[in-house]
Amino acid sequence: MKALIYENANTIDNFGIQLREIAEPVVRDDDVLVEVRAIGVNPGEAFVRQAKSAEPGGYVLLGWEFAGVVVGVGRSVQRFKKGDRVFGTGDIGRDGAYAERVAVDHRIVAKLPDSVSFVDAASIAVGAVTASDAMFRYQGELPPDVRKVLIIGGAGAIGSIATQLLKTRTDAVVIATASTQESRDWCKRMGAHIVVDHFGDVPAQLAEAGIQEVDFVLSLAATAQNLDWIAKVVRPYGHIAFTDVVPPLDISPFGPLGVKAPSLHMEMMFSRIVTGSHPERQGLFLDKVAACVAEGLVRPIVTTRIDGLTSESIKTAHGLIERQRTIGKIVIAV
């Protein structure tokens, strides 16, 4: 089959991902084999491309978000059959979806309603899974004392879906951060009640809006750099979740964050499949999200569509991501 692969870590100016012929994916007993129709492109993939080289004689095949049609099933699979429309997130330990076909554990994918297009579906899974595991760890709900949630990086894919999930599932006041008028308008369209500029004085902006502190901070970017003002706005015994790769955090007991004694946790989307910690919960949650999309309760977040499984299309997508001004999701229609 054809796939977009590379061997050595590369920059956008010396782009190394090329379309090549490789062997068909190996389908394990718990797998579905999916003919890829659309690919969601994520910042983590651009990061890996710049930092990770293949083992000698091997290649790297990225792609952690896809939608397509099941064309094969493993011996243990009963949830899916050939011809089913599905979407999912993939597995960081296996070849990804920048390809004509991808094999993935059936427990982390979900069926796609006929009313939802492949392109729209490919914009949803990563944001939905990441936001859900970051915010709804307490028996599938927000912590019971959370009334105000601050999302740092509200216009990106995870922030866009997180805002919608909060609006759909809770009565919490949602505050998003965004730095441009376009991204501020986008956050409002996603359902944020208040939008502030993360390059400005966030505590002052919140105070001006009548908010002295928040109960939950979902930090999707620059967590270490923002830690001082995060410590100012999170309430004592509040909650902080972060998803970005950060330098060491100052969480000393007498530091600005330590004295607030917040619950602090990291979210890593692949944890369930990598550790084997109830990966079926991911697929079941995606089932619920798909139903919400079909009912119009959660909207897809495609803002840029690029056509074709080509080196040029993926380079364009990665170039846009590396500018760090992406709103919503870039999707490649295969």
DSSP of 48-100, one letter per residue? HHHH-PPPTT--B-----EEEEEEEE-TT--S--TT-EEEE---TTS--SSBS
Mean pLDDT of the chain: 96
pLDDT of residue 155: 97
What CA dihedral angle connects 133, 139, 143 and 145, to 10 degrees? 160
Residue type, 204: A
- Residue 102's SS3 state is strand
pLDDT of residue 290: 97
Q: What residue ranges in the chain does DSSP mark as E strands?
A: 2-5, 18-21, 31-41, 66-73, 85-88, 101-105, 109-111, 148-152, 173-177, 194-196, 214-219, 234-242, 263-266, 302-307, 329-333
If pLDDT is split at 50, 70 and 90, which confidence band does 161 have?
very high
**Looking at the predicted structure, is the pLDDT value of residue 111 above 90?**
yes
If pLDDT is split at 50, 70 and 90, which confidence band does 325 have?
confident
CA-to-CA distance for 35 and 228, rounded, in angstroms?
46
H or E, element range at 316: helix 311-322
Residue type, 254: F
On whether the CB atoms of residues 175 and 181 are closer than 8 A, the answer is no
The token pair at 178 is 């965004």
If pLDDT is split at 50, 70 and 90, which confidence band does 245 have?
confident
Domain 2-124+271-333 has CATH 3.20.20.70: no
pLDDT of residue 43: 94
pTM: 0.95
On whether the CB atoms of residues 102 and 96 are closer than 8 A, the answer is yes
pLDDT of residue 256: 81
If pLDDT is split at 50, 70 and 90, which confidence band does 250 have?
confident
How many helices (H) and strands (E) the chain has is answered by 10, 15
pLDDT of residue 223: 92
The token pair at 289 is 């999200």
Q: Which of 82-86, 128-132, 212-216, 246-250 has the lowest mean pLDDT?
A: 246-250
pLDDT of residue 257: 86
pLDDT of residue 135: 96
On whether the CB atoms of residues 46 and 58 are closer than 8 A, the answer is no
Percent of the chain with pLDDT over 70: 100
pLDDT of residue 262: 93
* Inter-CA distances, 41 with 203, 239, 297, Å: 33, 29, 23
pLDDT of residue 50: 97
The domains of the chain are located at 2-124+271-333, 127-266
pLDDT of residue 115: 97
* Inter-CA distances, 331 with 155, 187, 199, 321, Å: 16, 19, 28, 12
On whether the CB atoms of residues 219 and 241 are closer than 8 A, the answer is yes
pLDDT of residue 310: 98
For the stretch 44-76, pLDDT in tens is 999 999 999 999 999 999 999 999 999 999 999
**Looking at the predicted structure, is the pLDDT value of residue 248 above 80?**
no
pLDDT of residue 141: 92
Segment 86-100 shows an average pLDDT of 97
Which of 330, 312, 236, 310 has its CA nearest to residue 2? 310
The token pair at 203 is 């505590």
Segment 293-312 shows an average pLDDT of 97
Segment 176-191 shows an average pLDDT of 97
For the stretch 134-147, pLDDT in tens is 999 887 899 999 99
* Inter-CA distances, 128 with 7, 84, 199, Å: 31, 21, 26
Residue 198 DSSP label: T
Q: Which CATH class is domain 127-266?
A: alpha beta
pLDDT of residue 139: 76
